[in-house]
Amino acid sequence: MKILLIENYKKIAEKIGRLLNRNRFEYFSVSSGENGADEAMSGIYDAVILDVSLPDCSGLEVLKQIRKAGHCVPILMLSPKCGVSDKVRGLNGGADDFMERPFAEAELLARLCAVSRRKGELIADTLSFGELRLNLSTYELSDTGESVPLSNKEFELMKFFLLQGHNVSSKENLLTKFWGFENSTAENSLEVHITYLRHKLKRIHSGIRIHCIKNVGYQLMTGEK
């Protein structure tokens, strides 16, 4: 699981980083709200730990930007001692959980895992875009009454596209999330899997296509059947 840590205080960021490393989480840390919002909306993270106190803006403002843009990544907010009204603002603003500093490491880890599971609970057995359906249990892609099985990598890519909806998935983010690195080999593999998915969409006569935006990435669009 890949975690984004948006934390202003270096010592706290280092403490959380060590905790995540010990528990085999991959993470990336930033200290500003602007960079944090951009990273959180990249689509490559499974959960976000967000500090309320940031140097350039409030963590609540970062939260607002993420949710306003339509991103549903699970967010655990951290704050020094605060009142009930601040917690209510955070939770009403779209945070999945809210906890105060100082914190017990075991509790932080448990809450992080809980909000990550919660994202899965909100997803039905099937994801859809228009008439296109992806069965999360059988790995079958279907449309117009026809279906086709997907390989593991095809399934993960299509699931990501469906969760993104109309949003563009950058090639950089796709390579980082599904291959862990960027080079010509990974890029070729991505393009091959996109080609496989396009062929399978045609096989089920789907009206959805994977559109390539040159030098940017990919986007689901309605096309000709």
**Res 83: pLDDT:** 66
User: What local confidence, expressed as pLDDT, does residue 23 receive?
Assistant: 86
pLDDT, tens digit (0-9, with 9 covering 90-100), for 145-177: 899 999 989 998 998 898 888 888 889 889 888
Do 85 and 42 belong together in one domain?
yes
Range of the domain at 172: 126-222
Sign for the CA dihedral angle at 14, 93, 79, 74 comes to negative
Report the CATH number that the domain containing residue 95 is assigned in CATH.
Answer: 3.40.50.2300
3-state secondary structure (DSSP) of residue 73: coil
Judge if 77 and 178 occupy the same domain: no
Mean pLDDT of 82-93: 78
Backbone angles phi, psi at 66, to 5 degrees: -65, -45
- Count CA atoms within 13 Å of residue 4 on its CB side: 26
49 & 139 share domain: no
- When divided into structural domains, the chain yields a total of 2
| Residue at token pair 């840590």 | 5
Single out the residue in 68, 95, 122 at which a domain terminates.
122
CATH of the domain at 169: 1.10.10.10
Q: Which of 102, 122, 142 lies at the terminal end of a domain, its last residue?
A: 122
Q: Is there a single domain that holds both residue 117 and residue 6?
A: yes
Distance of CA 64 to the CA centre of its chain: 16
Query: In this structure, are 97 and 145 located in the same domain?
Result: no
Q: Do 158 and 74 belong together in one domain?
A: no
Is 80 found in the same domain as 133? no
What would the pLDDT profile of 184-204 be if each residue is shown by its tens digit?
Answer: 888 999 999 999 999 999 999
pTM greater than 0.85 (yes/no): no
pLDDT tens digits, one per residue of 97-152: 998 888 888 889 888 888 877 665 444 467 888 899 998 888 899 998 899 999 98
Find the farthest-apart pair of alpha carbons in the chain and give their distance in angstroms, rounded: 57
> Are 110 and 169 found together in one domain?
no
Beta strand pairing call for 146-149 and 140-143 = antiparallel
Q: How confident is the model at residue 37 (pLDDT cuts 50, 70, 90)?
A: very high
